[in-house]
Amino acid sequence: MPRTPSHVWIHFRSANLEGKAVYSCKYCAKTYVKNATKMQQHIAKCPKFSQNSKQATPDKSSSASLRCENDSDSDTLSSAPGHSGIGGLFDSMDERSQRNADECFARAMYATGSPLMLTSNVYWKRFLNVLRPSYIPSTSHALSTHLLDGEFNRVQAKVKQTLDKAECISVISDGWSNVRGQGIINYIVTTPQPVFYKSTDTKHNRHTGSYIADELKAVISDLGPEKVCALVTDNAANMKVAWAHVKETYPHITTIGCAAHALNRLLKDIMALNTMNTLYKTAKQVVKYVKGKQVASAIYLSKQKEKNKNATLKLPSITRWSGVVLMYHSLLEGKESLQEMAISQTAAIESAIKRILLDDMFWEKVTGSLRILKPIAAAIAKIEGDTAILSDVKYLFAELKEEMQTVLPASLLLQAEETAVVKSLEKHQEFCTKPIHAAAYMLDPKYEKSILSAEEIRSAYTVITALSHRLGLDEGKVLGSLAKYRTKQGLWEWDGIWQSCQHISASTWWKGLCGSEALAPVASIILQIPPTSAASECSWSLLGNTHTKVRNRLTNAREEKLVAIRANLRLFEPDTEPSWTRLDSDTEDEEESDMEDVNEVQEEANET
């Protein structure tokens, strides 16, 4: 393969001297036999070059022409970055600049989850050489060893600084299996901003309650037990056993069930009812058929386009039952196009699918089911939000109870199924609401409506008193401050202070505007505890996007470093732009999460 010509040739004229090809400098007429290295050295020292550099430097058109010629003559460049052209001759980087460039480039690689072999690609080499001819990009070995370790240590130092500043922290834990089927447990610490703390490979250990408890206690010990105020997990049986062990060692730590997990379990229970399950299977059959059949899919999309609609049919997530709501919504949005397709002569729709699409009862059931499912899905979305706090759990369950009392009597469910929905709601509310939730609701200034029972109010007082004692506060003064807060006396007589709570977080409201009150330290701590383990779910997305089938040789230790860097780089960015270090691929896509089902349908269609 021919080598790419050096730019040095544009500064020399070719000639023939006694049958030999020679080249003379355009500026001083110095003559050389063909030798690019010596000619480059000459141009660098040519006394007349600096006087003529303006004329000697090729204009943009000639440079572009030369680049095009190079690209056409050779598909690749030399493996080492060349000092090509005038820029390459005089551009240089000292050791410090090279090191800084390496660190910035490595950070960009880690932040985006880019493959560490990227710098071996000839086009990346060419691109970097154009930006800075003298920059020698890091090798994949450097990116996976000392540069990775250096950035990981830098980020870990920031994590430690963040944790040291936090007045109270909560630990979130969840388990997962990586692409190799190995058990991984990750630990997120909220300050209240979520911080990826670490992940552990469980190896041959079974995820028993005692094993998980020992791991959790080790993490709590490392963090400092006096700073840990809560532990948030799902409601698996082994987690409940682990709770008991943790509480035995650290009685002051509150164990909390993930509210989002409980609501997802509620949806699962509802979808298991015969009426709901039958409709779900029918609706999914329709969506899979239309998405999996090439002709049907093309006709449907063309009819949607005629109506200026971009909405496509969506399959539900295989892990989140709230995706059923998206599927039903997509069906209703495309109802007109689907029914037109069903009666179209060119579509050749199967009779069973055609019968479903033209059945008014089917569409009535979809609409009725949405009335039941939509409030629960909306509650999940809200409780998983970045600003959700413990008080929201109490409020959302109260809202759901009222909503179910309205929609269930008008639903298509059987009487026994309606009763089952109510019981399931009560069961999952009992799991994820505790006295600390009542205390949080009582202390959240944005919730003025009284929904707490007398028993819940007493339990909230107990929580507040116990936390006051642990913080070394005067319990009498704290309860006195609570009395003034609840009756809007003293500091809380002013209407403006209540209006301000709509614009700032509840914990900031207490610390910033009510910091002089004895109740403030207690309230700010309770209102910083996360209501869900959603932060852990986000870390699984990063883990899944980092350790893929393509990168399945990645060691767990290196994976942990890559994920820790990617998750915690936002600690260096302003709070106003938390998404700067995130990519769209870092969040779960409901439609793509069930693509395996679509592929199965397409494979079946190909076989037939």
Q: Is residue 596 part of a domain?
A: no
Q: Among 317-321, 397-401, 600-604, which range has the highest average pLDDT?
A: 397-401
* pLDDT tens for each residue of 216-258: 999 999 999 999 999 998 878 888 899 999 999 999 999 999 9
Average pLDDT over residues 312-333: 87
81, amino acid identity = P
- Predicted confidence (pLDDT) at residue 1 exceeds the cutoff of 80: no
Percent of the chain residues topping a pLDDT of 90: 52
Sheet-wide strand order for 194-201: 194-201, 183-190, 169-177, 228-233, 254-257
174 phi/psi in degrees, rounded to 5: -155, 155
Residue 547 Cα to chain centre, angstroms: 15
Residues in the chain: 608
185-199, 227-241, 286-300, 581-595: least confidently modelled range: 581-595
Cα 600 from Cα 115, distance rounded (Å): 29
Task: Indicate the number of domains in the chain.
Answer: 5
Q: Is residue 473 part of a domain?
A: yes
Q: Is residue 374 part of a domain?
A: yes
The per-residue pLDDT for 29 is: 80
Average pLDDT over residues 185-206: 88
Question: Is 177 within 8 Å of 236 (Cβ atoms)?
Answer: no
* pLDDT tens for each residue of 508-564: 999 999 999 999 999 999 999 999 988 877 765 666 666 666 566 667 788 889 889
**Alpha carbon distances (Å) from 313 to 267, 278, 331, 353, 407:** 21, 19, 6, 15, 26
Q: Is residue 180 part of a domain?
A: yes
- What integer best gives the mean pLDDT of the chain? 83
Question: Is 164 within 8 Å of 172 (Cβ atoms)?
Answer: no
- Which element (helix H / strand E) includes 33? strand 31-33
Q: Which residue has the higher pLDDT, 592 or 103?
A: 103
31-45, 246-260, 358-372, 399-413: least confidently modelled range: 31-45
600, amino acid identity = E
Cα 600 from Cα 591, distance rounded (Å): 15
Listed in sequence order, the residues at least 6 apart from 162 whose beta carbon sits closer than 8 Å to its beta carbon are 191, 193, 195, 571
Residue 229 Cα to chain centre, angstroms: 25
Listed in sequence order, the residues at least 6 apart from 32 whose beta carbon sits closer than 8 Å to its beta carbon are 12, 22, 23, 24, 25, 38, 39, 42
The per-residue pLDDT for 203 is: 80
Average pLDDT over residues 341-353: 82
In this structure, are 111 and 132 located in the same domain?
A: yes
- Domain end: 408, 430, 452, which one? 430
* pLDDT tens for each residue of 431-482: 889 999 999 999 999 998 889 999 999 999 999 999 999 999 999 999 999 9
Local confidence band at 7 (pLDDT 50, 70, 90 cut-offs): low
Please give the sequence-ordered ranges of beta strands (E in DSSP) within 240-353, or none if there are none. Answer: 254-257
Q: Is residue 249 part of a domain?
A: yes
The distance between the two most distant Cα atoms of the chain, rounded to a whole number of Å, is 111
* pLDDT tens for each residue of 252-283: 999 999 999 999 999 999 999 999 999 999 99
SS3 177: strand
In this structure, are 181 and 137 located in the same domain?
A: no
Q: Which residue has the higher pLDDT, 484 or 582?
A: 484
Q: Is residue 583 part of a domain?
A: no
Question: Is 437 within 8 Å of 383 (Cβ atoms)?
Answer: no
Q: Is residue 578 part of a domain?
A: no
In this structure, are 499 and 426 located in the same domain?
A: no
In this structure, are 44 and 160 located in the same domain?
A: no
Residue 195 β-bridge partners: 189
In this structure, are 20 and 61 located in the same domain?
A: yes
The per-residue pLDDT for 573 is: 82
In this structure, are 326 and 303 located in the same domain?
A: yes
Local confidence band at 119 (pLDDT 50, 70, 90 cut-offs): confident
The per-residue pLDDT for 546 is: 67
The per-residue pLDDT for 600 is: 38
Phi-psi region of 490 (alpha: psi -120 to 50; beta: other; left: phi over 0): left
What angle, rounded to 10 degrees, do the helices at 259-271 and 360-383 form?
Answer: 170
Local confidence band at 82 (pLDDT 50, 70, 90 cut-offs): very low
Cα 314 from Cα 332, distance rounded (Å): 11
Local confidence band at 386 (pLDDT 50, 70, 90 cut-offs): confident
In this structure, are 269 and 362 located in the same domain?
A: yes
**Alpha carbon distances (Å) from 131 to 83, 97, 364:** 12, 14, 61
- Domain end: 399, 430, 461, which one? 430
Listed in sequence order, the residues at least 6 apart from 502 whose beta carbon sits closer than 8 Å to its beta carbon are 446
Local confidence band at 84 (pLDDT 50, 70, 90 cut-offs): very low
Cα 399 from Cα 401, distance rounded (Å): 5
In this structure, are 348 and 327 located in the same domain?
A: yes
In this structure, are 204 and 338 located in the same domain?
A: no
In this structure, are 62 and 114 located in the same domain?
A: no
178: containing domain = 151-258+533-572
Residue 557 CB neighbour total at 10 angstroms:
10
The per-residue pLDDT for 11 is: 80
- Domain end: 430, 446, 464, which one? 430
Q: Which of 370, 367, 374, 299 lies closest to 337 in space, CA to CA?
A: 299
Q: Which residue has the higher pLDDT, 15 or 254?
A: 254
In this structure, are 361 and 496 located in the same domain?
A: no
The per-residue pLDDT for 72 is: 37
> Do the bridges between strand 228-233 and strand 254-257 make them parallel or antiparallel, or are there none, so unpaired?
parallel
199-208, 353-362, 530-539, 599-608: least confidently modelled range: 599-608
In this structure, are 459 and 558 located in the same domain?
A: no
Q: Is residue 99 part of a domain?
A: yes
- Predicted confidence (pLDDT) at residue 113 exceeds the cutoff of 90: no
- Predicted confidence (pLDDT) at residue 602 exceeds the cutoff of 50: no
Q: Any idea which residue has 């009284």 for tokens?
A: 450
And the tokens for 301?
């999309």
